[in-house]
Amino acid sequence: MNLTEKGTQWPTPAGALRVWAPKVDRVRVVVGGGDSSGIEMTADGDGWFSAPALQPNTDYGFLLGGGTQPLPDPRSRRQPYGVHGLSRTYDADSFPWTDESWTGRQLAGGVIYELHIGTFTVQGTFDAAIEKLDHVASLGVSFVEILPVNAFNGVRNWGYDGVDWYAVQETYGGPAGYQRLVDACHQRGLAVVQDVVYNHLGPSGNYLPEFGPYLHSGSSNTWGDSLNLDGPDSEPVRRHIIDNALMWFRDYHVDALRLDAVHALVDHSAIGLLEQMAMEVAALSVHLGRPLTLIAESDMNDSRLITPRVAGGTGIDAQWSDDFHHVVHVALTGEKTGYYGDFGSMKSIAKVLTRGFFHDGTWSSFRGRPHGRPVRTDTTETWRFVVFAQDHDQIGNRATGDRLSATLDAGSLAMSAVLLMTSPFTPMLFMGEEWGAKTPWQFFTSHPEQDLGEATARGRIAEFAKMGWDESKVPNPQDESTFLNSKLNWSEPERPEHAELLDTYRRLAVLRRDRPELTDPRFGATTVSYDDDACWLIVERGPVNGRTLNGRTVTIAYNFAHMPVTLEIGSGEVLLATGEPERVTGGWTLAARSAMIVAR
């Protein structure tokens, strides 16, 4: 069947074009180059409108009610003219995948590498990132985590200001470029984690409220209005989110999603959005025959989030742990301002390593109240905690976007590597961390609207007041130089001062792969002794109730002091040392700011 109106022919391949717009009584479609008055869509009830499908690569937009300005499709797959322009259809099934033999990866035992497409390479595209995947694979990494790639306002952004969740950013290479990147990752044995944001929408280009009650009236979070997850007409909103999650797995072959700031989701439903998502993703995993993983970022320190549904939990597979970052950061840098105030002692490191969270119902001086809930260490696997010494938030949300490499010496950076890679959790590296990159990673935007750009810059400065950082040094996020300064310098890994650290990370990855003690998911397999005054820590990995997986244990010793320390460590094979330890009667003398790993 062909529809014609005022001489405009409507192409009708299989499928249909549908949109939810309960706020209006009519919706018309404007097809690029066609009649600007639009073609009437059929009202299907419950606020849904439909029309025969468009051909691939067709530009179109919706006219709502008596409106004259076409709006982008809320489920647009492409926005070639930016978030304010017409949408373009894309046939995701037309991509020539070569990963038919890919069976996926489980997160347990894995290592994640986090990267931002725009600053990972000079070109800032998916295709340019493909050229660096061999380097990533050489690190022993098993997952590549990509910061948000859905369409955002302007040409450069972290990605968390996105508005068109179904569209892939054109400046990166669009949906076809993204599929090429995922396919290339799978060819190298790398699984893909896609970072997605469902807790808010960006400040420019968000037309969803024109279509329906997508936002939660009277509720907002740090970044904008909350989504309507539990109010009237919330079911299509929840469907909008969950269908998007399934799209990444099904159409783009990703292996995991990282869910941004789930603590900001306002949802009082009996079966919450996250639990519903976990159920549907699990069902899709069965259908596709490969593991599909959900990783949440949560500020709640509540392990019920990662408790399986059969045990009464939400069913999310894993979550980020900021507490690990904080104890490591303070121990290495001595920085105690703002939210770092409660961390940094050897005791705090020991608690995180053996109990998952530092704040597990304890007083948080930064929040001014108790925070967190104890982890059921007898039933919770350690791999469910994704940990990091550096990540996009903890670097980029500093006043100047400075990495640890800006202030720490080579020995301290190597200690950070050992702490991360030998932890009982799932380690995650931030791009360039593996060689001690000297480039900062700063907050950048490119809002075309001058008033929005200025407001973003002012808000950025205000954010740092509680941390006690020098606000005068905060770079303007709208300046292109802020973005360009954040790009990795790929000549650095070839320099001797960087190559040694890079080699350390690679050797640590081999140890994680070869030594089952280092990936044992039982909390009971990690014991810690320490001395806060002398600033040393000894971690024993392996024995549980006197038994080990292979009859051996791995001991990791750390000297955080700025002078040598002698520790009682039994004899055994030295697997790795970041300094030059000296064997003495009854133990080893570790150099200042060094670590060593011994197998016994």
Print the SS3 string covering 414-456. HHHHHHHHCCCCEEEEECCHHHCCCCCCCCCCCCCCHHHHHHH
Q: Please, are residues 182 and 94 in contact by the beta-carbon 8 Å criterion?
A: no
- Domain shared by 237 and 310, yes or no: yes
Residue 268 lies in a domain: yes
Residue 106 lies in a domain: no
Residue 76 lies in a domain: no
- Domain shared by 167 and 216, yes or no: yes
What element of type H or E holds 209? helix 208-211
Q: Where are the alpha helices (DSSP H) in 495-589?
A: 496-514
Tens of pLDDT, residue by residue over 541-598, are 987 766 666 668 999 999 999 999 999 998 899 999 999 999 998 899 999 999 999 9
Phi and psi torsions of 224, nearest 5°: 155, -170
Helices and strands of the chain, counted as H and E runs: 14, 31
Q: Is 51 annotated as a binding residue?
A: no
- Strand 573-577, strand 565-567: pairing: unpaired
131-148 in b/e form (b: 16+ CB < 10 A) is eebeebbebbbbbbbbbb
Q: Which candidate, 26, 44, 36, 27, places its Cα nearest to that of 5?
A: 36
Q: Is 583 exposed, middle or buried (0-12, 13-18, 19+ CB in 10 A)?
A: exposed
Q: Is 317 annotated as a binding residue?
A: no
Task: Look up residue 46 and give its DSSP letter.
Answer: T
Residue 552 vs residue 387, higher pLDDT = 387
- Please tell me the distance from the alpha carbon of residue 23 to that of residue 50, in angstroms, as a whole number: 15
pLDDT category at 328 given cuts 50, 70, 90 is very high
Return the pLDDT at 463: 62
Amino acid at 277: M
Indicate if 514 belongs to the active site: no
- Look up the CATH number of the domain holding residue 25: 2.60.40.10
Q: Is 395 annotated as a binding residue?
A: yes
Q: Which candidate, 12, 57, 66, 58, places its Cα nearest to that of 37?
A: 66
Number of domains the chain is built from: 4
Return the pLDDT at 600: 84
- Domain shared by 437 and 316, yes or no: yes
- Please tell me the distance from the alpha carbon of residue 563 to that of residue 593, in angstroms, as a whole number: 8
193 contacts: CB under 8 Å, gap ≥ 6: 112, 143, 144, 145, 146, 254, 255, 256, 257, 258, 293, 295
Q: Please, are residues 430 and 397 in contact by the beta-carbon 8 Å criterion?
A: no
Residue 228 lies in a domain: yes
- Please tell me the distance from the alpha carbon of residue 211 to that of residue 23, in angstroms, as a whole number: 6
- Domain shared by 295 and 247, yes or no: yes
Return the pLDDT at 462: 64
Phi-psi region of 436 (alpha: psi -120 to 50; beta: other; left: phi over 0): left
Residue 1: pLDDT over 60: no
- Domain shared by 238 and 327, yes or no: yes
Residue with tokens 């050897």: 346
Residue 5: pLDDT over 60: no
Tens of pLDDT, residue by residue over 129-141, are 999 999 999 999 9
DSSP 3-state of 265: coil
Q: Is 323 annotated as a binding residue?
A: yes
- Please tell me the distance from the alpha carbon of residue 76 to that of residue 364, in angstroms, as a whole number: 43
Over residues 524-552, mean pLDDT: 86
Q: Is 425 annotated as a binding residue?
A: no
Boundaries of domain holding 527: 522-599
- Domain shared by 400 and 310, yes or no: yes
Tens of pLDDT, residue by residue over 32-47, are 877 888 999 999 999 9
Q: Is 231 exposed, middle or buried (0-12, 13-18, 19+ CB in 10 A)?
A: middle
Q: Is 186 annotated as a binding residue?
A: no
Tens of pLDDT, residue by residue over 17-75, are 999 999 999 999 999 877 888 999 999 999 999 999 999 999 999 999 999 999 999 99
Q: Is 398 annotated as a binding residue?
A: no
Q: Is 550 annotated as a binding residue?
A: no
Q: Is 43 annotated as a binding residue?
A: no
- Please tell me the distance from the alpha carbon of residue 116 to that of residue 350, in angstroms, as a whole number: 32
DSSP 111-144: -EEEE-HHHHSSS-SHHHHHTTHHHHHHTT--EE
pLDDT category at 101 given cuts 50, 70, 90 is very high
Q: Is 35 annotated as a binding residue?
A: no
Residue 439: pLDDT over 70: yes
Tens of pLDDT, residue by residue over 228-260, are 999 999 999 999 999 999 999 999 999 999 999
Catalytic residue chosen out of the listed positions 260, 302, 381, 540? 260
Residue 169 lies in a domain: yes
- Structure tokens belonging to residue 160: 């968390």
Tens of pLDDT, residue by residue over 332-350, are 999 999 899 999 899 999 9
- Look up the CATH number of the domain holding residue 544: 2.60.40.1180
Q: Please, are residues 257 and 245 in contact by the beta-carbon 8 Å criterion?
A: yes
Over residues 527-542, mean pLDDT: 96
Q: Please, are residues 405 and 437 in contact by the beta-carbon 8 Å criterion?
A: yes
Residue 104 lies in a domain: no
Q: Is 359 annotated as a binding residue?
A: no
Residue 101 lies in a domain: no
Tens of pLDDT, residue by residue over 481-518, are 999 999 999 999 999 999 999 999 999 999 999 999 99
Q: Which of 457, 489, 510 is the last residue of a domain?
A: 510
- Domain shared by 302 and 373, yes or no: yes
- Please tell me the distance from the alpha carbon of residue 80 to that of residue 531, in angstroms, as a whole number: 59
- Domain shared by 223 and 127, yes or no: yes
Indicate if 99 belongs to the active site: no
- Please tell me the distance from the alpha carbon of residue 394 to that of residue 402, in angstroms, as a whole number: 9
pLDDT category at 360 given cuts 50, 70, 90 is very high
Residue 221: pLDDT over 70: no
Measured from the Cβ of residue 551, the count of other Cβ atoms closer than 10 Å reads 7
- Domain shared by 471 and 537, yes or no: no
Phi-psi region of 287 (alpha: psi -120 to 50; beta: other; left: phi over 0): alpha
DSSP 3-state of 396: helix
Q: Is 253 annotated as a binding residue?
A: no
- Domain shared by 285 and 219, yes or no: yes
Measured from the Cβ of residue 227, the count of other Cβ atoms closer than 10 Å reads 27
Phi and psi torsions of 304, nearest 5°: -65, -25
Q: What percent of the chain has pLDDT over 70?
A: 92
Phi-psi region of 274 (alpha: psi -120 to 50; beta: other; left: phi over 0): alpha
Q: Which candidate, 175, 166, 220, 230, places its Cα nearest to that of 197?
A: 166
DSSP 3-state of 225: strand
Tens of pLDDT, residue by residue over 253-298, are 999 999 999 999 999 999 999 999 999 999 999 999 999 999 999 9
Q: Is 304 annotated as a binding residue?
A: no
- Domain shared by 409 and 535, yes or no: no
Mean pLDDT, the chain, integer: 92
333-339, Cβ contacts within 8 angstroms, sequence gap of 24 or more: 333/404, 333/407, 333/408, 337/467, 337/468, 337/469, 338/366, 338/466, 338/467, 338/468, 339/366, 339/467
Q: Please, are residues 32 and 60 in contact by the beta-carbon 8 Å criterion?
A: yes
- Domain shared by 318 and 457, yes or no: no
The C-alpha angle with vertex 464 and arms to 460 and 466, in degrees rounded to 5, equals 145
The C-alpha angle with vertex 430 and arms to 336 and 541, in degrees rounded to 5, equals 75
Q: Is 261 annotated as a binding residue?
A: yes
pLDDT category at 9 given cuts 50, 70, 90 is very low
Catalytic residue chosen out of the listed positions 225, 230, 251, 297? 297
Return the pLDDT at 455: 74
Return the pLDDT at 135: 98
Residue 86 lies in a domain: no
DSSP 61-107: EEEETT--S-B--TT-SB-TT-TTS-EE---GGGS----TT-----S
